[in-house]
Amino acid sequence: MEGGVNTDVIEEGGSGGGDQILRLLEECFSYIIALTSPRDACRSEAVSIAFRSAAVSNLVWRCFLPHDILEILARAISRIEFSSIKHLYFQLCKPILIDGGKKSFWLDRETGSKCYMLSARELVISGGDLPHSWDAHPESSFPEVAELLNVRWLDIHGKINTSVLSPRTQYASYLIYKTAPAGRCCILPPIPSRMWREFLGLGAGEVDARVPRRRAVAWPSEREDGWEEEALGEFCTEDGGAGEIDLCFSAREKGWRINVTVQGIEIRPAK
Q: Are residues 119 and 52 in the same domain?
A: no
How confident is the prediction along the chain (271 residues), in pLDDT tens digits per residue? 444 555 454 544 444 445 676 677 777 888 888 888 999 899 888 787 778 888 899 989 999 999 999 999 999 999 999 999 999 999 999 999 999 999 999 999 999 999 999 999 999 998 876 678 999 999 999 999 999 988 888 899 999 999 999 999 999 999 999 987 654 443 344 444 444 544 333 233 332 333 334 444 456 788 988 899 999 888 889 876 678 898 988 887 666 778 899 999 999 999 8
Q: Are residues 131 and 170 in the same domain?
A: yes
Q: In this structure, is residue 51 part of a structural domain?
A: yes
pLDDT tens column, 67-85: 999 999 999 999 999 999 9
Q: Are residues 88 and 142 in the same domain?
A: no
Q: Are residues 86 and 122 in the same domain?
A: no
DSSP 136-172: --TT-SSS-EEEEEEESEEEEEEEEEGGGSPSS-EEE
* CATH code, domain with 11: 1.20.1280
Q: In this structure, is residue 123 part of a structural domain?
A: yes
Q: Are residues 172 and 210 in the same domain?
A: yes
Domain termination site, one of 57, 92, 127: 92
**Burial label, 5 (beta-carbon count in 10 A; 0-12, 13-18, 19+):** buried
Q: Are residues 171 and 232 in the same domain?
A: yes
Q: In this structure, is residue 87 part of a structural domain?
A: yes
Q: In this structure, is residue 103 part of a structural domain?
A: no
* CATH code, domain with 121: 2.60.120
Q: Are residues 31 and 162 in the same domain?
A: no
Q: In this structure, is residue 208 part of a structural domain?
A: yes
Q: Are residues 25 and 133 in the same domain?
A: no
pTM of the complete model = 0.79
Q: Are residues 145 and 63 in the same domain?
A: no
Q: In this structure, is residue 255 part of a structural domain?
A: yes
Query: What is the chain's length?
Result: 271
- The rounded distance, in Å, linking the Cα atoms of 187 and 197 is 32
Domain termination site, one of 60, 92, 124: 92
Q: Are residues 35 and 74 in the same domain?
A: yes
pLDDT tens column, 96-120: 999 999 999 999 999 999 999 999 9
Q: What is the number of structural domains in the chain?
A: 2
Q: Are residues 154 and 252 in the same domain?
A: yes
Q: In this structure, is residue 105 part of a structural domain?
A: no
Q: Convert 247-263 to b/e letters by CB count within 10 Å (16 or more is b).
A: bbbebebeebbbbbbbb
Backbone φ and ψ for 25, nearest 5 degrees, come out as -65, -45
Distances (CA, A) of 157 to 67, 130, 211: 29, 18, 16
Domain termination site, one of 61, 92, 123: 92
Q: Are residues 175 and 251 in the same domain?
A: yes
Q: In this structure, is residue 102 part of a structural domain?
A: no
Domain that holds residue 128: 115-269
